[in-house]
Structure 1
Amino acid sequence: MKKLFFPIFLVLILLGFNAAALKKIEGTVTEIGHKKPITGVRVSNISGSKQVWTDKDGHYVILLENGDQELCFDKSGYLSQRLSIVKKTILNVQMSLGMEQHEPIMNEISIINQSAQANASNMVLTKGPQKTIMIRGLASPNYGQKKYDSHLGMGMNIIGHYGNTESYAAIAENTFLAPNKTPLSTFSIDVDGAAYSNIRRYLNNGGLPPKDAVRIEEMVNYFDYDYPQPSGADPVNILTEIATAPWNPQHKLVKIALQAKKIQTNRLPAANLVFLIDVSGSMAQPNKLPLLVSSFKLLTDQLRPEDRVAIVVYAGRSALVLPSTPGSATTTIKDALNKLEAGGATAGGQGLEMAYKVAAENFIKKGNNRVILATDGDFNVGLSSDKEMETLIEEKRKSGIFLTVLGYGMGNIKDSKMETLANKGNGNYAYIDNITEARKVLINEFGGTLFTVAKDVKLQVEFNPSKVQTYRLIGYENRLLEDKDFNDDRKDAGEMGAGHTVTAFYEIIPYGVKSSFTPSIDPLKYQENKILGSNSSSPEMLTVKLRYKQPDGDKSKLLQKAVLDTSFPFSGASDNFRFAAAVAEFGLLLRQSEFKQGANFAQVIRLAQDAQGKDTEGYRAEFIKLVKSTALLAKDLLSIENTNKFNEKK
């Protein structure tokens, strides 16, 4: 036992992980009487600040603060439980079916005695008069508190409760391609950072994110990089750097970066903003509407007298709660925000139509005209299909009204829908998991979030087959374009706001390096099998081409830069390069990528620490702490997964 303890203790010390501050609880949830695993049970501490869901085998692993004394177990159709975890590391739970299972489920609801209403958010089952009962059945579309006498008598309230219905678009990772067959790589840029803050929420709650929630390009682009500003008339410039790949030193890593021109806030054009706020029943949680209101108050404090703000809300219907008001009227704007309450269905399409109408009525020529949609992403009444909303947004962006999307909350996030809406609306998408993130997006990055300096920004990279055996774009899977789209000005692409940076990595297998990722293809019978040697006369590895349009323009401009084939060790690369590569490596691990090769958590931590550099806001330090805790969590989950596979074989 002593021999085992010391290596584990040493690992924790090397990771810099404060084991005394956290404790791990794991177990299996089954159905009572049948021992059938229950999938999708929400396991959380009392406050709900840490929560995970059971997997297909009913297993869960959660990291908690030492002060946490109890765990809650909730799932639609089952009686909730609240159990002590004092002096426990393993907690197996049996749950019994709840009431009224014969009725169709439209919403999970909780019947709570009025005296226990203060604890309603915990959704727990306790003894005595403060009992909470989870039932299934038809729920009123008004998801706020409603009188409900037919089950338990007078004085009972219904509190809406939502299961885990988060959705993410499937990602098929980019593979290695041979430049003699596929010489061009074309994609739209992405400045969003939503994926990083979303997976941070998962990890801070003690669980790993779904693989498809991990978009590596958004993780990399979440962070600030100290790139040189554009020096000419163009609002964006191209920067490149090459070094060995940290997860495979035989491969090279090429960084292609863009830097948009910074503009002082007081020099930004006047803004015509419409806050489009989701006040449906699903927003009645502390990390949704209350956090949303606090976020918009921060934004309100950044407004100038020449800026204007209107507020449109939507639930069962949409309404204009504040007509267009000067930015100097901060008290009026904040009073309108303070009066918002959640309840009702989600007529998101109707809200979009009204918001765009208000923005058009107050349009500022040469100004920043924008709708800012804040929601958990659920649209289920009226104009709700993705295609209908995309068509509306595409139509409105032509008039110069852009769209920014801010996501809030957990358990109900419609990530793929929100990202799509922002892309179609010539805007960006951010996920707000706490007030610190709201400050980052709406204060620190105010210009980049709300003012576009270049639209429809596309990149196309041509590779020299005499230098590059195969290449792989890391991330950007949902931003890929056909090669012909690069010169087609009708094709939509990403936008860059003032001061925004974009970073993309290509992993290169140099000519002559043996690799399992290089496809083995028999020689062609009817065509010449031409092999280019590495001694080609051209010293260039690749050429980067960029197209962009002015925010109010329709014709693109071309920029390009040739990149010489060089060989630098990873340790000699810039801090920007090394830190961004560490973030990309972390993404490979979270995705359990088939291309992760020698990637590991210890290396990510070391690389990030060595390249932390200037970290004024502490985002990089936070990243390092996040990787440390994830390393321990991933090890535990892998151990459970291996045990399950062993049991299945038996």
Structure 2
Amino acid sequence: MKNIFLLTLSLLCNQLLNAQSIKVSGTVVDKNGHPLAQVSINEENVGLIALTTTTGAFEILVKDSTHRIIFQLPRYTNHVQKFNANSSNVKIVLNGGKGDSITPGLLAEVSVVGHAPLVKKNYTASQSISISGDGSGSYMSRRMPMQENEEYASRTENDFHRVKNAALSTFSIDVDRASYSNVRRYLNDGQLPPKNAVKIEELINYFDYNYPQPEAGNPAGISAELGNCPWNKEHFLARIAVQAEKIPTTSLPSSNLVFLIDVSGSMWSENKLPLVKKAFRVLVDQLRPQDRVAIVTYAGNAGLVLESTPGSQKSKILNAIDELQAGGSTAGGAGIQLAYKIAQLNLIAPGNNRVILATDGDFNVGISNPGSLQDLISKEKEKGIYLSVLGFGMGNLKDDNLETLADKGNGNYAYIDNFEEARRTFVTEFGGTMFTVADDVKLQIEFNPKWIKAYRLVGYENRLLNDEDFNDDKKDAGEMGSGHTVTALYELVPVNAVFRQGKIDDLKYQEVVSLSKYSQEVLTVKMRYKKPGQKQSLLLSKVLMMNAYKNTEAKASEDFRFSAAVATFGLILSDSKYKSSASFDMALTLAKNAKGNDEEGYRAEFIQMIKKAALLANTTAKNEVGTK
């Protein structure tokens, strides 16, 4: 009886709140009338109250007519408006612009707290979750879990290794960043991501860093930095960085591209095929007359929609894209076979020959056996035809499958959650996405036992190699595109620190070597890579000295501190057993203090993601307590 009374009282409070609030609905578009997804809508003195849908739609309840409503999206100028009465079909226009989109003095101190957003359009299901937890009736719209058919490979987190027992750490580089945009999609949908969807290395590598350019003649260069570990003050944190050469677009080789597009029935929703079409339109705009594009689709049967067409005929290519429609089952294997056949018929040597696959990841007809698909892709790679993979949509994403296909095809894997991510992939980072400058890039780090007792690689669990693989040129590894950066973080236990991970007796028969010659060296980084089309690898190395240690946070570079902020965020979301004192507040403080120039606004967006995750985690914890 008491519970019924409290429920009735809560509903009555909500009705009273809604009666006093102002209901506003409409759409947010850019200056050209294109809908803008995931625009943050903030109410002055309240905080984040809603996000726009993939069609730019929103529906909000405004607490007070005197409050300003701020519409905010990175790389766009803020729109500020007051609403004095219920309004529908409101059209908000955000003007494009670079730089930090947060207006000084207005949003810099906005807190993310929940309040009455009711964004339910285009969702198959939704629910409201209590944000305030105090019975005030404050709610945040939350999509019901949509990942019932999504697949993420389970991963075993990297452990600490004692230097005396295992002085070498070897792994393949990874320039994929799909995990970051996928995590962003979950947070913007009002959900914390599954733990296995969080790949810390991909979160870190989503961002650009101001690393030194490689020396002349080298397609990539190495740098390293040593500082304190934020989440464990007794430990060091080492940052290993690789910067690829950035080639001007005018100097890039001609491209022979085949768009392989999934038009099966599962691709009908707004954030799938319609977004695919917008993404490829952006790519077509970047083509030069010497570039060529063909389009292959698959759904039940594979078909050639557009023969290989020069970039000078953009209207013909765009018309073929516009006519694509979703329907049928998914014959992914057959589509890939046809795409490679078309690429081979139009091969440019030397040149950039690439199949670009766009799908939600479901292969259920045709060559669906993972081993057969991978063998096919590996053989085509040897012929000089690479594969890049773009994942779209929710509810059906096969993350591990798509990443594996891209790895076998010497390409990269990206998850496109909105139009802005498509713009970044195909415009801002066109060279890095499309043009490889170094193949089979491997890193091997040797640690000096004089300074380091144990180490742990943060992330890269599915990129680990055996130590002997480093010098084996037949062993496949990751690729780097023009201008790409790769960052790897190691948590290091200093030699004089207490190491709490078990105890191993001292060994009796190991050779004791004088380290006087290398006494100030903390570690040595070695990198092997191949120039595209070559079979023999080349070697680069970099030594990190102890006198370069930054013993305070203030002395560490902005890039070091920001990558540490992203790692902290990833440790929490993945519920790492090594997260120690990591917290959302720690990640937020680090990120704010290391935001730097942030010309494209990506770091400002990350700061908002931390706030959303903290809000959702707090709400989830309160709800779990309430059910006990």
Distance 1:176 1:229, change over 3 A: same
Equivalent residue, structure 2, for 1:66: 116
The alignment status of 1:598 with 2:593, answered yes or no, reads no
Give the aligned partner of residue 96 of structure 1: none
Mapped pair 1:231 → 2:206: no
Aligned partners of 1:458, 1:353: CA distance in 2, in Å?
Answer: 30
1:466, 1:533 within 8 Å by CA — same for their partners in 2?
Answer: no
Which residue of structure 2 aligns with residue 563 of structure 1? 544
The equivalent position to 1:318 in structure 2, one of 266, 286, 302, is 302
Asked if structure 2 preserves the Cα contact closer than 8 Å seen for 1:21 and 1:66, the reply is no
Are 1:217 and 1:475, in contact at CA under 8 Å, matched by a contact in 2?
yes
SS in 2 for 1:217: helix
State the SS of the aligned residue for 2:368. coil
SS in 1 for 2:523: strand
Contact 2:54 2:418 in 1 (8 A): no
Amino acid at match of 2:331: A
Is 1:544 the counterpart of 2:525? The answer is yes
What is the letter of the counterpart of residue 451 of structure 1?
Answer: F
Kept in 2, the 8 Å contact 1:71–1:82? The answer is no
Q: Give the direction of change, closer, same or farther, for the CA distance of 1:410–1:233 in structure 2 (3 Å limit).
A: same
**Which residue identity is paired with 1:436?**
E
Cα offset for 1:602? 1.1
Aligned twin of 1:427: 411
Residue from 585, 590, 605 that aligns with 1:622: 605
- Aligned pairs for 1:453-464 within 5 A: 453-464=437-448
Higher relative CO (Cα under 8 Å, sequence separation at least 6) belongs to 2
Partners of 2:292 and 2:311 within 8 A in 1: yes
Retained in 2: the 8 A contact 1:22–1:66? no
- 1:178 aligns with one of 162, 173, 176: 162
Deviation at 1:637, TM superposition (A): 1.3
Counterpart in 2 of 1:362?
346
* Alpha carbons of structure 1 residues 45 and 230: separation in structure 2 relative to 1, 3 Å: closer
Using the TM superposition, give the Cα deviation of residue 68 of structure 1 relative to its aligned residue in structure 2, in angstroms.
Answer: 1.2
Over 2 Å off, 4+ runs: 16-24, 44-50, 62-67, 69-74, 80-91, 161-164, 527-537, 638-644
Question: Contact 2:55 / 2:270 at 8 angstroms: preserved in 1?
Answer: no
The CA deviation at 1:465 is: 1.4
- TM-score where L is the length of structure 2: 0.79
Inter-partner Cα distance in structure 2 for 1:417 and 1:84? 33
2:256 pairs, out of 267, 272, 287, with 272
Separation in 2, partners of 1:192, 1:436: 17
1:389 to 370, 373, 376: 373
SS in 2 for 1:585: helix
Query: Mean alpha-carbon deviation: is it higher for 244-253 or for 275-284?
Result: 244-253
> Which of 321, 329, 335 matches 1:351?
335
Q: Distance in 2 between matches of 1:264 and 1:350?
A: 36
1:352-501 paired onto structure 2 within 5 Å: 352-501=336-485
For 1:128, the equivalent position in structure 2 comes to none
Q: Can you list the C-alpha shifts for 1:261-299, whole angstroms capped at 9, x where unaligned?
A: 001111100000000000000000000000000000000
**3-state SS of paired residue (1:313):** strand
276 and 70 in structure 1: CA distance in 2 versus 1, 3 angstrom threshold: closer
Aligned residue for 1:20? 46
C-alpha deviation, 1:643, in angstroms: 4.7
The reply on whether 1:190 has 2:174 as its aligned counterpart is: yes
Change in Cα spacing, 1:65 to 1:610, as seen in structure 2 (3 Å) is same
Q: CA deviation at 1:470?
A: 0.4
Question: What TM-score do the two structures reach when normalised by structure 1?
Answer: 0.76
Shift of 1:232: 2.1
Alignment CA distance shift 1:355-1:162 (3 Å): farther
Kindly provide the CA deviation profile for residues 32-55 of structure 1, in whole angstroms up to 9, marking residues without a partner as x.
xxxxxxxxxxxx9999999xxxxx
Structure 1 position 89, deviation (Å): 5.5
- Residues 133-168 of structure 1: per-residue CA shift (max 9 Å, x gap): xxxxxxxxxxxxxxxxxxxxxxxxxxxx98730000
How many Å separate the matches in 2 of 1:583 and 1:468? 24
Is the 8 Å Cα contact of residues 236 and 260 (structure 1) preserved in structure 2? yes
Aligned residue identity for 1:329: Q
Are the counterparts in 2 of residues 359 and 369 from structure 1 also a CA contact under 8 Å?
Answer: yes
Q: Following superposition of structure 1 onto structure 2, how do residues 88-237 of structure 1 map, counting pairs within 5 Å?
A: 88=137, 164-237=148-221
Correspondence for 1:340 among 283, 308, 324? 324
SS in 1 for 2:234: strand
Per-residue deviation at 1:72?
10
Give the partner amino acid of 1:250. E
User: Residue 590 of structure 2 aligns to a residue in which SS?
Assistant: helix
Q: Distance in 1 between matches of 2:327 and 2:259?
A: 18
Partner of 1:100: none
Structure 2 match to 1:158? none
> How far does residue 466 in structure 1 lie from its aligned partner after superposition?
1.8
2:589 is matched by which residue type in structure 1? R
1:613 aligns with 2:562: no
- Secondary structure in 2 matching 1:595: coil
Unaligned 5+ residue runs, structure 2?
1-41, 60-111
* Offset from partner CA, 1:222-269 (integer Å, 9 cap, x none): 001111211221100001111111112221111110000001111100
Which residue among 566, 573, 576 is the counterpart of 1:583? 566
